[in-house]
């Protein structure tokens, strides 16, 4: 059902569905003496419009671009980096490796490993999922995934969104680029895969902080899928699903800008980039199959997944 912005309520705006039922209320708030700025009436109206748009948004995997510009319109970037480069640099600082190892990573000279290829296949399959797809077993890009986890996830309506931040860092014009697994009016959504769920590692990264600054969103939400490989096969069981959230803080952007300045100075000093780096190549799209595999009873455990159209920004998908 389409949503719309309704009448004022308690100094705010109601969001109503096609039947006139109130879905949510956005309330204007004066500045707080301790917590700082509030929400102006104009901001209240803007948030209400975003929420109403989320209720009307079709599910799409078509890439779109969100650009934040903090440098003069005519300026050309001298350094193009990826959001993940900052965490690659921080990883390198803790290792006893030559500078060439970091340079190769930042310039994408090393081919992706098996774990990266598996993760890409899994979350790309999720990004192409539609209402009614059976997600109990997925075949995509040469891999098979069988869902054994008992969980529910929400697939965002807007997926595969490119983001860009143009800013001046210590006199260097920088173009920061990234790609989101999903985004809605309030959250940035990111999929992670691996053998273990490590929330401390996720929270310590700069990736989520930079993305929140780039997109002006309040919440970063990870959905982590624990994968177990079947011996010697390109076949993985999804055994656990975890959700983790991080929140934008008043000091987040200042910390991000300070870290970016440190990284850019290091990159320029050590000539980590031979010029503006090209964005990562787009993955080749293979047909995705959301189909039950006919395996032997000892190899295949049937799981039922029900997908229903969500009334906010995506699909809640029941795993098992």
Q: Name the residue ranges covered by the structural domains of the chain.
A: 4-56, 64-319
Q: At what angle do helices 252-269 and 207-215 cross, to 10 degrees?
A: 110
In the chain, where do the E strands start and end? 4-9, 12-16, 22-27, 64-70, 79-82, 137-140, 143-147, 151-156, 158-169, 172-183, 187-194, 219-229, 235-247, 306-307, 314-319
- Thinking of the domain 64-319, which architecture would CATH place it in? Alpha-Beta Complex (3.90)
- The rounded distance, in Å, linking the Cα atoms of 218 and 187 is 6
pLDDT for 300: 24
Report the range out of 85-94, 153-162, 294-303, 304-313 with the highest average pLDDT: 85-94
Q: 278 pLDDT exceeds 60? A: no
Range scoring the smallest mean pLDDT among 225-229, 237-241, 255-259, 306-310: 306-310
Q: 211 pLDDT exceeds 90? A: yes
Residue-averaged pLDDT of the chain: 75
Asked if 235 contacts 229 with a C-beta cutoff of 8 angstroms, the reply is yes
Range scoring the smallest mean pLDDT among 63-72, 75-84, 235-244: 63-72
Q: 289 pLDDT exceeds 60? A: no
Other C-beta atoms lying within 10 Å of the C-beta of residue 215: 20
Residue 293's pLDDT band, with cuts at 50, 70 and 90, is: very low
Other C-beta atoms lying within 10 Å of the C-beta of residue 83: 21
Neighbour-count burial of 186, counting CB atoms closer than 10 A to its CB (0-12 exposed, 13-18 middle, 19+ buried) = middle
Residue 34's pLDDT band, with cuts at 50, 70 and 90, is: low
pLDDT for 7: 72
Mean pLDDT of 284-292: 39
- The rounded distance, in Å, linking the Cα atoms of 107 and 91 is 15
């Amino acid at each position: 059902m389409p949503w719309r912005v309704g009448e004022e309520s308690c100094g705010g705006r109601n969001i109503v569905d096609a039947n006139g039922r109130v879905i949510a209320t956005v309330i204007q708030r004066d500045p707080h003496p301790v917590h700082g700025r509030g929400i102006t009436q104009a901001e209240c109206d803007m948030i209400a419009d975003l929420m109403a748009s989320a209720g009307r948004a079709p599910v799409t995997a078509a890439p779109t671009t969100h650009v934040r510009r903090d440098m003069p319109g005519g300026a050309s970037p001298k350094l193009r980096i990826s959001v993940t480069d900052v965490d690659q640099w921080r990883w390198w600082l803790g290792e006893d490796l030559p500078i060439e190892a970091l340079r190769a990573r930042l310039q994408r000279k090393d081919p992706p490993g098996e774990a990266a290829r598996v993760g890409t296949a899994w979350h790309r399959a999720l990004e192409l999922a539609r209402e009614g797809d059976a997600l109990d077993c997925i075949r995509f890009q040469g891999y098979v995934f069988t869902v054994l986890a008992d969980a529910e996830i929400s697939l965002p309506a807007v997926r595969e969104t490119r983001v860009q931040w143009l800013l001046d860092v210590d006199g260097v014009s920088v173009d920061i680029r990234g790609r989101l697994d999903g985004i809605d009016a309030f959250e940035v959504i990111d999929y992670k895969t691996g053998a273990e769920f490590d929330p401390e590692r996720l929270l310590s990264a700069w990736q989520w902080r930079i993305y929140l600054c780039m997109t002006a969103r309040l919440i970063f939400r990870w959905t982590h899928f624990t994968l177990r490989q079947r011996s010697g096969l390109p076949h993985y069981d999804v055994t656990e699903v975890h959700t983790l959230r991080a929140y934008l803080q008043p000091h987040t952007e200042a910390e991000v800008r300070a870290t970016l300045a440190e990284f850019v100075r290091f990159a320029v000093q050590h000539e980590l980039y031979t010029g503006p780096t090209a964005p990562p190549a787009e993955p080749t799209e293979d047909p995705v199959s959301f189909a039950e595999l006919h395996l032997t009873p000892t190899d295949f455990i049937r799981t039922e997944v029900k997908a229903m159209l969500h009334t906010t920004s995506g699909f809640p998908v029941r795993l098992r």
